Amino acid sequence: MIIGIDLGTTNSLVAIWQNGQATLIPNSLGEKLTPSVVSVDKDGAILVGQSAKERLISHPEQTASVFKRFMSSQKNFRLGTSHQFSAEELSALVLKSLKADAEAYLGEVVTDAVITVPAYFNDHQRQATKNAAQMAGLTVRRLLNEPTAAAMAYGLHEQNDDCKFLVLDLGGGTFDVTLLELFSGIMEVRASAGDNSLGGEDFTELLIQGFIKQQQDTDAAFWQPYLSLLHGEAEACKRSLTHNKQATMSITIDETLYSWQITDSKFEKLCEPLFQRFRDPIERAIRDAKLRIKSLDEVVLVGGATRMPVFRQLMTRLLGRFPAVNLNPDETIAIGAAIQAGLVAEDAALDEVILTDVAPYSMGVDTTLEIRENQYQHGVFSPIIERNTVIPTSKVHTFYPMQDNQTEVQFNIYQGEARLTRDNIKLGELTVAIPASHRGKARQLPIDVRFSYDVNGLLEVDINLSDSQENYNLLIQNGAKQLSSKEIENSRDKLANLKTHPRDQAQNRSILARAERLYAQRLGFERDQLARLIGWYETVLDSQDPQQIRKANSEISKSLEQFERDDWF
Ligand code: ADP
Ligand code: MG
């Protein structure tokens, strides 16, 4: 069985293709969404998902979130005093947890997966995702662009032929825009664009800043220690505004109540600075596909943050139509991943949906341009594969050395859209020696540079000296930080040796984390009560008596609910 995984910035999901349909697999708490959060508890054991998310507030120093934004970077996340992880390793822990959920559900070992990535992930980030899977003991059978997965979830439901649609995916931290065309059963990605530092979190951040600005007698420094608490309030307020005309954020500090009531129209005003950032990638995708907004048949919204009425209204205004939202926006991508997993498993079904994808960035080499006679500009980007070319693709350009006495030519490989290479991302380099036969007349040597880009988003560069048989080859997987298979193996062992709680304790851990989060949020009398409750609960857990624990779980859950309800008076 190949599982389909939506490895999200905020939430991750796992689904399978079974009996002709996609099924979402619940985690050990019975939830379909597993927060992409990792924490280390006081015994040094790893927590993943909801219990880790609760600890963002009570134990921020021991907890890591939004690490997807740092995939393939050198950033190290320190969790407590004894643990340190890369973004790949943290992602691997989330993948391991999803893998275990799937195994518990299926009753069999799972080794293969289709994993989705944002369309805008570059080669390094894609390779990092594959590395993470390997660390988790999963072989990636296909990396699938998230909006493409969403389109598949819709495409199969949609029987309309010759249909053009726009997929807008607004998750916690990424905004992806994809233009697809369904024609005679073939779904083609016509263009993709996006902003990978724009998401639902930015709306939460605006609410936090708005709240702070409203409070007289306090400044930003005053709020510094309370930011994670404020974040929780802002998140709840944002969700509340999805269903209500107004909502309130309130926090009590040293017996002073700080609160802010915000209406939907005030919220819309607050969000205005983000609107242009939504417009840009949409315009770019439509222009690249040489289409007009009017010719779109359907607009599809996916990602939890597209639930926000402000976002829907903006899109409706911008695109002159109401978006389709008949699938659950949180689940669409995982469903698409499961469909793809089903297709990979039995390629017979491939006849039904043929899917083409596009290169998200232009890729090319650094060149020197002769502007006028004997006047040169260095560092000019010369694209070989252009943005939004249908993949897999292979393109060749011929270059010539600049000087007759050159003995070698260095090709620097870049991706991006800027005219000058210094503004693009360097992927790698390849140095070609001029053969002895061309000494002194290098300028006459044609050098063919071939770029091949595959469906997994990996770039292969082949350089061929046409006059000789010389060949140079470079597979660009991860130029910035190329993990060797030894390093991946080491990470895999490191993660395998971490202490974790047995699956059947997930519920207990989550209850404990929730109680501790409430403790961190409350003060005074409530704190005393919570401290006693937590102390008592811990002794019950220590007893390891399943029956007592079950009884305690239901008791403490009731008490915690009471505390949480008091939140709203
Ligand atoms: P990702 O793809 O980044 O993992 P998701 O698609 O799960 O993200 O979306 C997460 C985002 O959706 C978060 O920013 C969250 O606040 C937001 N979100 C989820 N439900 C709602 C809602 N009902 N109203 C407003 N925002 C929501
Ligand atoms: Mg997502």
At 535-565, the pLDDT tens digits run: 999 999 888 888 999 999 999 999 998 887 7
Buried b (16+ CB within 10 A) or exposed e, 172-206: bbbbbbbbbbbeeeebbbbbbbbbbebbbbbbbeb
Q: Is the CB of 112 under 6 A from ligand 1?
A: no
Residue of 11, 37, 302, 333 to test ligand 1 pocket, by largest number of atoms within 8 Å of CB:
11
Q: Do domains 1-154+327-355 and 161-326 have the same CATH topology?
A: yes
Q: Rounded mean pLDDT of 329-346?
A: 91
CA of 239 relative to ligand 1 center, distance in Å: 9
Residue 179 has pLDDT above 50, yes or no: yes
CATH of domain 363-477: 2.60.34.10
CATH of domain 161-326: 3.30.420.40
In order, the DSSP letters of 202-214 are: HHHHHHHHHHHHH
DSSP 112: E
| Residue 396 binned pLDDT confidence (cut-offs 50, 70, 90) | very high
Q: Rounded mean pLDDT of 496-514?
A: 88
Ion ligand 2, residue ranges at CB < 5 A: 8, 171
Residue of 238, 267, 306 to test ligand 1 pocket, by largest number of atoms within 8 Å of CB:
238
Beta bridge partners of residue 175, listed in sequence order: 170, 195
Mark whether 169 is an active-site residue. Answer: yes
Q: Which pLDDT belongs to residue 350? A: 42
Helices 146-157 and 332-345 sit at what angle, rounded to 10 degrees? Answer: 80
The pTM for the full model equals 0.77
Greatest mean pLDDT among 294-298, 335-339, 358-362 lies in 335-339
| Residue 126 binned pLDDT confidence (cut-offs 50, 70, 90) | confident
Q: Which pLDDT belongs to residue 155? A: 66
Q: Rounded mean pLDDT of 37-44?
A: 93
Residue of 239, 301, 302, 335 to test ligand 1 pocket, by largest number of atoms within 8 Å of CB:
239
Of residues 182 and 60, more confidence is placed in: 60
C-alpha to C-alpha distance for 435 and 442, rounded to whole angstroms: 9
| Residue 89 binned pLDDT confidence (cut-offs 50, 70, 90) | very high
Q: Is the CB of 118 under 6 A from ligand 1?
A: no
Residue of 6, 36, 176, 307 to test ligand 1 pocket, by largest number of atoms within 8 Å of CB:
307
Mark whether 89 is an active-site residue. Answer: no
* The three-state (H, E, C) secondary structure of 525-547, written as one string: HHHHHHHHHHHHHHHHHHHCCHH
Of residues 519 and 260, more confidence is placed in: 260
Q: Is the CB of 323 under 6 A from ligand 1?
A: no
Residue 125: half-sphere exposure toward Cβ, Cα within 13 Å: 18
Q: Is the CB of 173 under 6 A from ligand 1?
A: yes
Residue 191 has pLDDT above 50, yes or no: yes
Residue 422 has pLDDT above 50, yes or no: yes
Residue 567 has pLDDT above 70, yes or no: no
Of residues 257 and 360, more confidence is placed in: 257
CA of 71 relative to ligand 1 center, distance in Å: 20
Instruction: Spot the catalytic one: 6, 176, 195, 202.
Output: 6
Residue 195 has pLDDT above 70, yes or no: yes
Residue 338 has pLDDT above 90, yes or no: yes
Site of tokens 């609960």 = 537
Domain boundaries, the chain: 1-154+327-355, 161-326, 363-477, 503-565
CA of 205 relative to ligand 1 center, distance in Å: 13
Closest CA to 303 of 180, 147, 148, 197: 147
**Cα 154-158-162 angle, rounded to 5 deg:** 110
Q: Which pLDDT belongs to residue 14? A: 98
Residue 133 has pLDDT above 90, yes or no: yes
Residue 351 has pLDDT above 50, yes or no: no
Q: Rounded mean pLDDT of 451-455?
A: 85
Q: Which pLDDT belongs to residue 341? A: 93
The string of pLDDT tens digits covering residues 272-321 is: 999 999 999 999 899 988 889 888 888 989 999 999 999 999 999 999 98
Backbone dihedral angles phi then psi of residue 519, each to the nearest 5 degrees: -60, -45
Q: For 107-185, where are the E strands, in sequence order?
A: 112-117, 139-145, 163-170, 175-183
Q: Rounded mean pLDDT of 379-390?
A: 89
CATH 3.40.120.10 for domain 1-154+327-355, yes or no, is: no
Closest CA to 337 of 308, 307, 302, 304: 302
Q: Is the CB of 356 under 6 A from ligand 1?
A: no
| Residue 458 binned pLDDT confidence (cut-offs 50, 70, 90) | confident
Structure tokens at 397: 């350009």
Closest CA to 10 of 200, 175, 198: 200
Virtual CA dihedral for 69, 74, 78, 79, nearest 10 degrees? 50
| Residue 113 binned pLDDT confidence (cut-offs 50, 70, 90) | very high
Mark whether 6 is an active-site residue. Answer: yes
Instruction: Point out the ligand 1 atom lying closest to the alpha carbon of residue 235.
Output: 16
Q: Which pLDDT belongs to residue 479? A: 43
| Residue 58 binned pLDDT confidence (cut-offs 50, 70, 90) | confident
Q: Which pLDDT belongs to residue 160? A: 59
Q: Rounded mean pLDDT of 181-207?
A: 84
Backbone dihedral angles phi then psi of residue 356, each to the nearest 5 degrees: -110, 155
Mark whether 561 is an active-site residue. Answer: no
Q: Which pLDDT belongs to residue 5? A: 98
Closest CA to 234 of 210, 255, 257: 210
- Could you tell me if 191 and 356 are in contact, meaning their C-beta atoms sit under 8 angstroms apart? no
Round the average pLDDT of the chain to a whole number and report it.
88
- Could you tell me if 119 and 107 are in contact, meaning their C-beta atoms sit under 8 angstroms apart? no
C-alpha to C-alpha distance for 344 and 2, rounded to whole angstroms: 8
- Ligand sitting nearest the alpha carbon of 68: 1
Ramachandran quadrant class, 19 (left: phi over 0; alpha: psi -120 to 50; beta: rest): left
Residue 469 has pLDDT above 90, yes or no: no
Range of lowest pLDDT (129-133, 410-414, 519-523, 542-546): 519-523
Question: Closest Cα to atom 22, ligand 1: which residue?
Answer: 239
- Could you tell me if 477 and 123 are in contact, meaning their C-beta atoms sit under 8 angstroms apart? yes
Q: Which pLDDT belongs to residue 185? A: 65
Residues 6 or more apart whose Cβ sits within 8 Å of residue 162: 182, 183, 184
Range of lowest pLDDT (96-110, 262-276, 525-539): 525-539
Residue 482 has pLDDT above 90, yes or no: no
Q: Which pLDDT belongs to residue 243? A: 93
Question: Closest Cα to atom 24, ligand 1: which residue?
Answer: 239
| Residue 478 binned pLDDT confidence (cut-offs 50, 70, 90) | very low
| Residue 131 binned pLDDT confidence (cut-offs 50, 70, 90) | very high
**Cα 276-282-284 angle, rounded to 5 deg:** 100
Give the Cβ contact number of residue 480 at 10 Å.
Answer: 17
Q: Is the CB of 304 under 6 A from ligand 1?
A: yes
- Ligand sitting nearest the alpha carbon of 171: 1
- Ligand sitting nearest the alpha carbon of 199: 1
C-alpha to C-alpha distance for 488 and 134, rounded to whole angstroms: 7
Strands 112-117 vs 2-7: parallel, antiparallel or unpaired: parallel
